[in-house]
Amino acid sequence: MTATAHAPARTATTPAPAATPRRRKPGNLGAAATVAVIGVFAFGPVYWLLVTAFTPNDDVFRFPPRLWPEHFTLEHFANLADNAVLGRYLVNSLIVSTLTAVLTVLVSAYTAYSFSKFRYRGRRSLMSLILASQMFPQALLLITLYLVFSAYGLLNSYLALILSFTTFTLPLCVWMLKGFFDTIPNELLEAAKVDGAGQGAVIHRILLPVSLPGLVATGLFAFIRGWNDFIFALTLAGPAKQTLPPGLVNTYLGEFQAAWPDLMAASLVVSLPVVIGFVVLQRYLVAGLTSGAVKG
């Protein structure tokens, strides 16, 4: 590598001098090769999931498998639609995730408003406390949670799932909304108070309406967390109230162990809302990710 070229590949603003293309080529080739190799690892399983979901059983159950699909079918998706139990899991997932989103937005909005715009003793400790809740192992908490919910007759109820999901989604959502509220000028809220609005009115008539995009993003995030959860729904809900993740495990890894194409089709269906949600959330994603609280 010679020292003559003075415009490295990374400065996007300066126009590239004549010497640059010759130098950049090996770097870009290496980058493209890296992306290609990791791409095979990243997208190979996705490709295989898709192929299996649309391939007839006769072609799926053979060894060695065909890497390129020859026949196309929608029968596996039809099997899913015919399965009433899966329909119930889907409804449960929708109900629980939606209510989790609503409750999470409410609770985290109040908490984030408090952290963002008020100063009082113990505020920092409270913030650490909320943030810490994602560090505790859930399997350990579940030992007692199971007994508590059982004592109050809340096992196999939506409420047990909603309360659990909401609690573990709170840290991220509070931090997301706090970041949002921090950008709202204090003068806006003060002006309303001077005009005679009470504390509640400031929240519900000023703060929440101007924060609508942030609230939607937070709600979507909470929905996805509820939708994806496995261990709480597995433990606290029986067949009647179970959501899709444990429901699919019980259905396909139990009785119909060989129904791989159906399971792949179901996997696509479960993933769809989450993928759509993340495409919508892209703008908020990096901020949420860097707060280090997304997955626990």
Partner 1 sequence: MTPLPTTERRPLSDRTFGFLLTLPALVLFGAIVFYPLVGSLTTSLFEQSLVQPGREFVGLDNFRAVLDDQFWPVLWNTLVFTGLGTIAPFLIGFALALALNTRLPGRALLRGAFLFPWVIPGVVVSFAWLWIFNANYGLLNGILFRLGLIAEPVSWLGDPDTAMYAVIVAKTWASFPWIMVMLLAGLQTVPGVLHEAAGMDGAGVLRRFWHVTLPHLRGIIGIVILLEIIWNFQHFDTIYVLTGGGPAGATTTFAVAVYDTAFKGFDLGRAGALGALWLVLLLVLVVVYVRFAEREEQS
**Region near partner 1 per CB under 8 A, out of 3-11, 73-81, 83-91, 209-217:** 3-11
CA-angle at 282, arms to 277 and 286, nearest 5°: 125
Element of type H or E holding 19: none
Residue 110 interacts with partner 1 (CB under 8 A)? yes
In this structure, the dihedral spanned by the alpha carbons of residues 252, 256, 258 and 260, taken in order and rounded to 10 degrees, is -40
**Whether residue 273 has a cis bond before it, omega within 30° of 0:** no
Give me the least distance between CB of 72 and partner 1, in Å please.
19
Residues between 29 and 48 that touch partner 1 (CB under 8 A): 30-32, 34-35, 38-39, 41-46, 48
Closest contact distance (angstroms) between CB of 28 and partner 1 is 6
Is 28 one of the binding residues for partner 1 (CB under 8 A)? yes
CA distance 222 to 166: 7
Alpha-carbon gap, residue 206 to 197, rounded angstroms = 10
> Closest Cα to residue 182, out of 102, 100, 293, 287?
287
From 74, 91, 213, 278, residue interacting with partner 1 (rule: CB under 8 A): 278
- CA 19 distance to own-chain centroid: 45
- Contact call for residue 10 and partner 1 (CB under 8 A): yes
Q: Which residue has the tokens 């159906």?
A: 262
The residue range among 81-89, 175-183, 210-218, 285-293 that interacts with partner 1, by the rule CB under 8 A, is 285-293
Is 21 an interacting residue with respect to partner 1 (CB under 8 A)?
no
User: Of residues 140, 185, 212, 255, which one binds partner 1 by CB under 8 A?
Assistant: 140
Q: Does 8 bind partner 1 (CB under 8 A)?
A: yes
Q: How far apart are CA 163 and CA 170, in angstroms?
A: 11
Which residues ranging from 142 to 201 are in contact with partner 1 (CB under 8 A)? 142-148, 163-164, 166-168, 170, 174, 186, 189-190, 193-194, 196, 198-199
Considering only residues 201 to 230 of the shown chain, the ones binding partner 1 according to CB under 8 A are 227-228, 230
